[in-house]
Amino acid sequence: MIRQLLTVTALAGAVCCLGQTPTADADIVTKAKVTLLDGSQFFGTPRFTSFVLVMDFGKLDIPLARVSTLGFFKDRSKVGAYHIVTDSVKVGFDNKDILSGKLEGTTLGFDTIFNEVHLEPSQIKSITFTKQRDISRSANQPGLLLYVPLDMENSDLGLFGARMEANKVRIVEGRLGNAMSLESADARVTLHLPFLPYAMPEGTIEFWARLPQPRQRFSGGGQPWFLNIISPGGRNNTHFVFGFTASDNTGKGGLVGRILGIGTAGTHAAGAVSNIAETGLLQDSPDGWHHYALVWKRDGLDFPGARGRSLLIAVDGKIVAVGDNETSHVHPPEGSRLVIPGGNIDAARPLMISDLKIWNHAKRPEES
């Protein structure tokens, strides 16, 4: 009992501060998958942000932001000559802690695509909660062409006129909320874009990524390319690429970005490094989360450290490579798609990625 009380006291101490939500969490929304006793399921948005759990030794106000699952069951007990059955709940937290008790109150409300739903605990078998980015809050940001949280397999990108296909990916805990993990040679994410990055006079592609095996040696077709933008039917289907490589066949290695007709940038000479950690770009956390950006401007950037150049690569807000201007001209056909990871992969190269954004202007690295 003392241990239970200590656990509840510690949890309550953490709960008291949860109302002070960090600014970074402002775009995180909670979604629910509700399984009913008859086996039917529906997805919705909870109409509650917390609930009260009643236990034998007290009550606790539980914020939904820290809950991963609710499992409902019948608690049978005997009082004198009577058998009493009550609806109880097992609460699973994001940190794997579990508490059991009874909900104070009678119904739980959800907004669904059909209408508002109110359910009693006796009608529910389980609820699984996921934390997702709310892209509607970003859709009207000036210059933002696309925002893909990559925190679920079936993101609706209709607000940006785009479409996503995910194959053999896994949703994992990310830097903030969930992220997408590509762990096999045939894992792919394809983003069908309503615009042509090649045709843009300037732009920025940025995202967060984690490479869990930074000391794995580069290999021929197994480079951990982050992305490749392909124009279907065009000849230049492998020339808008960004990622790590031993050699890009143009004399560059390390972290390389290339946009045919605009420029090529690389942090090292071809063959100078044999793995990601060896580049030194990710400092003392080569297997951690880092922010990457590929920024271009055909007429030349006006940023310190890249003035007059057409292309730059930034890691964690710092410029790590700039590209020479190219004079060739590219006329891609209509339609394009962004593929993650880019290139042909002949080996499993684990890649975790989230919060990919494309802008119609060259952003200063420190603003990303």
- Whether 22 shows a pLDDT value over 50: the answer reads no
Residues in the chain: 368
Residues 353 and 208: beta-carbon distance below 8 Å: yes
CATH 2.60.120.200 in the chain is located at 134-367
Report how far residue 59's alpha carbon sits from residue 56's, in angstroms, rounded to the nearest whole number.
8
Query: Given 3-state DSSP classes, what are the helix, strand and coil percentages for the chain, each rounded to the nearest 5?
Result: 10, 45, 40
pTM listed for this prediction: 0.77
Residues 323 and 311: beta-carbon distance below 8 Å: yes
pLDDT per residue over 221-278, tens digit each? 567 789 999 876 555 456 789 999 998 888 999 999 999 889 999 999 999 999 999 9
> What architecture does CATH give domain 134-367?
Sandwich (2.60)
pLDDT per residue over 156-202, tens digit each? 899 999 999 999 999 998 888 889 999 988 899 999 999 988 889 99
Going by C-alpha positions, the residue among 107, 134, 135 that lies closest to residue 34 is 107
